[in-house]
Copies of this chain bind each other. A is one copy, B any other.
Amino acid sequence: MGERKATHITWHEGAVTREDRERSLGQKGVTVWMTGLSASGKSTIAVALEQVLLSRGKQAYRLDGDNVRFGLNKNLGFSAEDRAENIRRIGEVAKLFADAGVITVASFISPYRRDRGLVRKLHDESDLPFLEVYVDCPIEEAEKRDPKGLYKKARAGELKGFTGIDDPYEAPEEPELHLPTRQYSVAESVSAIVEMLETRGILRAPPTRGDSR
């Protein structure tokens, strides 16, 4: 029992706050929500963005189909109800990451305005920034790229309810950032996002309590 020395353990009443975490990390928590067609370039931009932020000592984390569809949301299908629940859960998880102080980069087609609006509302209610980035690639261009052959399958009727083919994509009306991929290179897209984060004060710690600078 003599080994349980705890004299170096001290703490005070009350939980660590979001601001405490943000000051420790030197940044503010945020959700950067990238929406756009399949093959529009969302993931490519998100991957590059994470690297650039890490190289500046910032903590970012990507949420995408790879780490969500086969994990948290593996019990969801593609019915209208399940699609809405898919985005809702992702929105809730993004909110937790943002609350932890992380620059959270969510990259999902998320075709419906209503679903994205609900995620924005979740963040608003918790006073967490939600920045919608519209990765705007014309369907002809996305279909030409078709790296996974999904558009081809959708055209052949092998995939039903495919966004842009037989299911709508509802473009954001007032995204915080619009990235027309025909005019913006990946580097320019990443640069535009980083600039948005800088302008909004995300890349620096919040001021100390009572600090009026």
Give A contacts to B, CB under 8 Å.
1, 4-6, 8-12, 14-16, 20-21, 24-25, 47-48, 50-52, 54, 57, 59-63, 67-68, 71-72, 75, 85, 89, 92-93, 95-97, 99-102, 122, 183-185, 187-188, 190-192, 194
Contacts and interface: CB of A to CB of B under 8 A. Distances in A.
A11 B59 contact: no
Contacts of A16: 47, 50-51, 54, 60
Among all A-B residue pairs, the 10 with the closest Cβ atoms:
A6-B187, A6-B191, A72-B92, A11-B51, A61-B100, A9-B187, A11-B48, A6-B188, A71-B92, A4-B188
Contact of A102 (B11, B12, B100): B100
Q: How many copies does the complex hold?
A: 2
Given A9-B187, A61-B100, A97-B100, A192 B4 contact: yes
Nearest to A189: B6
Contacts of A75: 85
A53 B145 CA distance: 47
Given A6-B191, A9-B187, A184-B4, A96 B54 contact: no
Given A47-B15, A192-B4, A20 B72 contact: no
